[in-house]
Structure 1
Amino acid sequence: MENIHIEELFRKYIEQTITEQELSHLHDFFQRKENQEEQDALLITYFSGEHTISSPLDVKAGIVKDLAWQGIREQLGMTHAPKYRKISWWKGVAAAASILLVLSCGFYFYKEFARKRQSASQFASLDIPPGTNRATLTASNGMVYQLNGAKEEIVVGKENIHYKDGDILPVKESIVKVTLSTPRGGQYRVTLSDGTRVWLNAASSLSYPTVFNGKDRSVTLNGEAYFEVTHNASQPFIVHTPDQAVTVLGTDFNINCYKDENSTVTTLVTGSVRLDGKGDAAPLQLHPGEQAVLDEANFDVAMVDVSLYTAWKDGEFRFKATPLVEVLRQVARWYDLKVDYTGISEDIKIHASIRRDKKLSTVLHALEKIGDVKFEVKERNIRVMHQ
């Protein structure tokens, strides 16, 4: 074990993947006084940064706790807003030194390892993989084609429908209109015949013609999608949802119209779009950075951080003061779960960025730490409890 890299062992300890033999080697490293400088450098790397405190009487404990969790978050590919006010860099070093003292105690080191292993075992049944590229293509003639997940994207050409790499779908006859559908735990992309690209999120569907003829380019969306629309001033692009129509010439925007969200949310990244509600809502023009929420018969417009609403297409969950209920709806669609929302307080807000390629156990563990809640899980059914 002499050649084992200490940083790698410490990373394994943080991620709870370290073996008993590796743990023993890491423990010996922390016990040796001659390794003091290396120990300090290692811990500062993992635990230093900008953090805060909640009470002057608990400064040291608060800093250690927050910095330790920061180190874990970095390993999980997460970030979230700190809970305390900022402290200086030298206090971060002091906190790292405090952690060093704790880890240097052999009894505590092994005890903490055992405790974390026991905690992790509670999520063993949750080792559910994240969603993948999965979708079906239903033709207007009723034929259903299961798409290849490894291909990730289909392209509607003038003569055929093919994958982005050129492989042609085995469509046996000419079709006029198709519907691309993703299940819970699935996503897919499509390039339409005009060059417009669409990212389709989980549990969503997009219906479109194989060729855009006529005065406009109309598609129908259920669920959530991100659009990069090819400019064509003479043929507007129109996205129809159950409650509104979005008309554009060429722009980038996101639409969320899931039934369980109880509103239709349109977020504009670039360009300009016009929204027409199906009810009494007056037509609305959106500008870059604006978001329109159609709730019942009214549009509510506000400037937003668009990255929070488009991060999903780049493989991230991103939340900023997002109610836990809303967070769990996104997680449930991506991991194909059933969630009991009974008794979840609207006061629980989540600040986080978590990669969508993580297994469910990692995501739930992170949300427990951030939201101060506890999850009870049976198969794919989840109930939320307060700590």
Structure 2
Amino acid sequence: MDTNKLRQLLADYMAETISKPDLIMLLDYVAAKENGVQLDQLMNESLLDLAPDPETAVDSAALYQRIISHSQFNRQPIFKKRRYWKWVGAAAAVLVVAGVFFWGVGGSRYSETGSLQGNNRTPVLRTVTTAPSDIPVLRLADGRVINLDSVAGGVLALEDGMQITLEGNQLHYEGGDTKDAEGKTLKNTIITPKGRQYQVILPDGSKMWLNAATTLTYPVQFDRDKRVVEISGEAYFEVQKAANWPFIVKTKTQQVEVLGTHFNVSAYDGDQKAKTTLVEGSVKVSLVRPGNGPNAHEPSTVLKPGQQATTYLNKEAINVDAIDPYEAVSWKENLFVFNNEEISEIMKKVSRWYDVEVVYQDGMAGKRIGGTIPRFAQINELMDALMATGLLRYKMEGGRVVIME
């Protein structure tokens, strides 16, 4: 799209005279991630051209509602990529949001186990998420615990010849044999608090990104026959390929086995389900039944890129769905992506990142939101964007968010 055409689409959009085909063209262009710099510049220029007259100021909430009232937006948009920008024009003193596609619907009411209950459903009263620690910590094999916020970086420890180094929010493991005198494998555990992420780079070259409120236990150096890690929370894995050396991720309800690939695992203790999403390569996902040994992982399924395997506590089945893997791994780019999710599910993610309790007033059940939005520095910025959908209002009470109709 040439610059003049894009400028005209933006002008028509802000003047609310854009045609339906042009609106679709503009949103498709905005959704293309590589166009962000040019669009950002043109939007700023367009906003500066606006007269600072309250009657002509652009109201983002009203624009959202007008856009999603079009019939083509009554279903989930199909975008390969999603992009969010915000521009503030000093002359107009207004906020315009473009490229974040929010839509919301009222729907069937669900019980907390997911079954339909009709209009007599008892409303969700609150969302409270927990984290295993209030600070990022590394627990070494010898029992020492290092507060990662209290160290400046550099070499943190040496364990039987293995050097552990902290660089920013990355832990690196290099060199050495980690077998102790009795031949046992030494293990470390890293714990992230709410609102924080860390990366671990292991000696085999595998990389693991940890989301907020996550616990990951892993060998300082892997055994020769297999590579095994255990997780509670969420992590994205880029596993170094190695023939005949499987990489295994264990959660309470899943065992994920790969030889080398990219995938995401979400398995928080407070959730009733665990999800494995394959980005590229191939993984085998097996069901773990409570109380059974490592040889009882049945049933199982092999995922293809773009598929997600979901398991539930106390259910002996694996559900496989085709999804956009970008939705599952967007947290690595500091984005929230909501795909027709109930407000209570959305607020779980918000609670884990901003460390807040969420309280609901009646009327929230069944309301769903879809869209992409960044992880703002302040929770009120995110809540303002959610409120622009017209589905909710909110107020802050200390460390608590109260959600209202």
Work out whether the TM-score is over 0.5: yes
Would the alpha carbon gap of residues 28 and 190 (structure 1) be closer, same or farther in structure 2, given more than 3 Å must change?
Answer: closer
1:51 aligned partner: 67
2:148 aligned partner: 147
- Between the aligned partners of 2:308 and 2:207, the Cα distance in structure 1 is 21
SS in 2 for 1:377: strand
Q: Give the AA of the match of 1:51.
A: I
Would the alpha carbon gap of residues 82 and 330 (structure 1) be closer, same or farther in structure 2, given more than 3 Å must change?
Answer: closer
Displacement of 1:305 after TM fit? 1.0
The one of 209, 224, 229 aligned to 1:214: 224
Displacement of 1:217 after TM fit? 0.2
The one of 282, 288, 308 aligned to 1:291: 308
Would the alpha carbon gap of residues 167 and 238 (structure 1) be closer, same or farther in structure 2, given more than 3 Å must change?
Answer: closer
Larger Rg: 1
In structure 2, runs of 5+ residues without a counterpart are: 1-48, 72-85, 89-93, 106-133, 181-185, 290-296
Aligned counterparts, 1:159-170, within 5 A: 159-164=162-167
- Between the aligned partners of 2:212 and 2:396, the Cα distance in structure 1 is 22
Aligned counterparts, 1:1-387, within 5 A: 30=53, 51=67, 53=69, 75=96, 79-81=100-102, 135-148=136-149, 159-164=162-167, 176-279=186-289, 281-295=298-312, 296-341=315-360, 343=362, 345-370=364-389, 372-386=391-405
Would the alpha carbon gap of residues 82 and 357 (structure 1) be closer, same or farther in structure 2, given more than 3 Å must change?
Answer: closer
Normalising by structure 1, report the TM-score: 0.64
Displacement of 1:154 after TM fit? 9.7
1:4 aligned partner: none
Please say if residues 337 and 381 of structure 1, whose CA atoms lie closer than 8 Å, have aligned partners that are also in contact.
yes
Give the count of matched residue pairs.
287
Please say if residues 325 and 344 of structure 1, whose CA atoms lie closer than 8 Å, have aligned partners that are also in contact.
no
In structure 1, runs of 5+ residues without a counterpart are: 1-25, 32-38, 56-69, 85-132
- Between the aligned partners of 2:373 and 2:274, the Cα distance in structure 1 is 24
Would the alpha carbon gap of residues 331 and 28 (structure 1) be closer, same or farther in structure 2, given more than 3 Å must change?
Answer: closer
SS in 2 for 1:160: strand
Q: Indicate the percent of aligned positions where both proteins have the same amino acid.
A: 29
Displacement of 1:237 after TM fit? 0.2
- Between the aligned partners of 1:78 and 1:153, the Cα distance in structure 2 is 41
Please say if residues 376 and 382 of structure 2, whose CA atoms lie closer than 8 Å, have aligned partners that are also in contact.
no
Q: Give the AA of the match of 1:209.
A: P
The C-alpha deviation readout for 1:85-139, integer Å capped at 9, x for no partner, is xxxxxxxxxxxxxxxxxxxxxxxxxxxxxxxxxxxxxxxxxxxxxxxx9621011
CA RMSD of aligned residues (A): 4.1
The C-alpha deviation readout for 1:117-167, integer Å capped at 9, x for no partner, is xxxxxxxxxxxxxxxx96210112211111249989999997301124799
- Between the aligned partners of 1:71 and 1:339, the Cα distance in structure 2 is 29
Would the alpha carbon gap of residues 232 and 185 (structure 1) be closer, same or farther in structure 2, given more than 3 Å must change?
Answer: same
Would the alpha carbon gap of residues 227 and 150 (structure 1) be closer, same or farther in structure 2, given more than 3 Å must change?
Answer: farther
Structure with the bigger RCO (C-alpha within 8 Å, sep 6+) is 2
Q: Give the AA of the match of 1:378.
A: E
Please say if residues 152 and 188 of structure 1, whose CA atoms lie closer than 8 Å, have aligned partners that are also in contact.
no
Would the alpha carbon gap of residues 80 and 29 (structure 1) be closer, same or farther in structure 2, given more than 3 Å must change?
Answer: closer
Displacement of 1:347 after TM fit? 2.1
- Between the aligned partners of 1:154 and 1:304, the Cα distance in structure 2 is 41
Please say if residues 104 and 391 of structure 2, whose CA atoms lie closer than 8 Å, have aligned partners that are also in contact.
no
The C-alpha deviation readout for 1:270-304, integer Å capped at 9, x for no partner, is 01001111128511111100001102221110100
Would the alpha carbon gap of residues 153 and 48 (structure 1) be closer, same or farther in structure 2, given more than 3 Å must change?
Answer: farther
Displacement of 1:376 after TM fit? 3.1
Would the alpha carbon gap of residues 234 and 269 (structure 1) be closer, same or farther in structure 2, given more than 3 Å must change?
Answer: same
Would the alpha carbon gap of residues 186 and 149 (structure 1) be closer, same or farther in structure 2, given more than 3 Å must change?
Answer: farther
Please say if residues 103 and 371 of structure 2, whose CA atoms lie closer than 8 Å, have aligned partners that are also in contact.
no
Q: Give the AA of the match of 1:240.
A: K
